[in-house]
Amino acid sequence: MPVEPLSQKEIEDRLAELPGWSLDGDRLTRSYRLGSHFAATAMVVHIARVQEELDHHSDLTLGYDTVSLSVHTHSAGGAVTEKDVELARRVEDLAPGHGAH
């Protein structure tokens, strides 16, 4: 089933519900500072599990105490879709102060 790109307005509406996330070109992006290398590495593992569950994989960068994501949908020509928004929401749920991590 094809995944439809979101319009600019739809992206702006979704971003209003995702504090800290932004649109960088054709990708949703977000960085998290976790306070330690161990915490950042653990978050990467949790994000990888979510990506597997959703069958939707983003670019992930692990720094010393930072995790950065860059998300778009290849099957929609590299555009932002609801799949990206769902991944962003699920990652937010993993962030410190938002539930399990």
- 26 neighbors 98 (Cβ within 8 angstroms): no
pLDDT tens per residue across all 101 residues of the chain? 568 999 999 999 999 999 999 999 999 999 999 999 999 999 999 999 999 999 999 999 999 999 999 999 998 999 999 999 999 999 999 988 764 43
What pLDDT was estimated at residue 97? 73
pTM of the model: 0.92
What pLDDT was estimated at residue 100? 41
- 66 neighbors 34 (Cβ within 8 angstroms): yes
Residues pairing with 66 in the sheet: 33
